[in-house]
Amino acid sequence: MVSEKILERKKQEVEELGNIFSKNGVYLFDYRGLTVPQMSEIREKVKALDADVKVIKNRLAIKYFEKENKTGFGRDLFKGPIAVAYADENFVGVAKVLVESEKEYQSVELKAGFIEGVFADKAKVKYVATLPGKDQLMAKLVLSMSMPLKKFGMSIAAPLRNMLILMKNLKDKKEKEE
């Protein structure tokens, strides 16, 4: 029979998984074959984005998803050693790191993810990795907001500038005539 301490510890671990899977971007990947320095490098890259990587127990993950009645993916997703990379803010950057790591190390296999709580297969995760980051999107937004104002200012100033050029040309012409 299982002791109460073990049951309580497993319940806490399932709750921790709930905290992880509630993040905006959660990506599952197989890390078999990675050396410790390679896994550490992936962790450092992910942590630099204010995110985290954790190795999870498959049985506990399955228990969590059964408890939450989440469907749309099979148990085969949780076969073999699985690690999760997760982030709230910069989940696009985390996807980019994992896709790059999959290209760099052949032993990394991106399995799937959960983007804003919705299951995403490997192809969707790779698509998310192609999206621009938050900083790039903000820069594009500022540029798209400022360009019309800049063009408006230039169009208002154009008649005055043209008038000044015309007056200067007239002045130069009169000076040449004299």
Tell me, yes or no, whether 127 and 137 share the same domain.
Answer: no
Tell me, yes or no, whether 127 and 150 share the same domain.
Answer: no
- Whole-model pTM? 0.71
Give the C-alpha separation, 38 to 119, whole Å.
Answer: 27
The pLDDT of residue 145: 86
Tell me, yes or no, whether 112 and 143 share the same domain.
Answer: no
Give the C-alpha separation, 84 to 52, whole Å.
Answer: 8
Tell me, yes or no, whether 8 and 93 share the same domain.
Answer: yes
Reported as type and span, the H/E element at residue 80 is none
Give the C-alpha separation, 118 to 116, whole Å.
Answer: 6
Q: What CATH code is carried by the domain that includes residue 41?
A: 3.30.70.1730
Is the pLDDT at 139 greater than 80? The verdict is yes
Give the domain-ending residue among 93, 111, 131. Answer: 131
* Parent domain of 145: 133-178
Q: How many structural domains is the chain composed of?
A: 2
Reported as a single tens digit per residue, the pLDDT across 143-168 is 888 888 888 888 888 888 888 888 89
Tell me, yes or no, whether 33 and 54 share the same domain.
Answer: yes
Tell me, yes or no, whether 139 and 59 share the same domain.
Answer: no
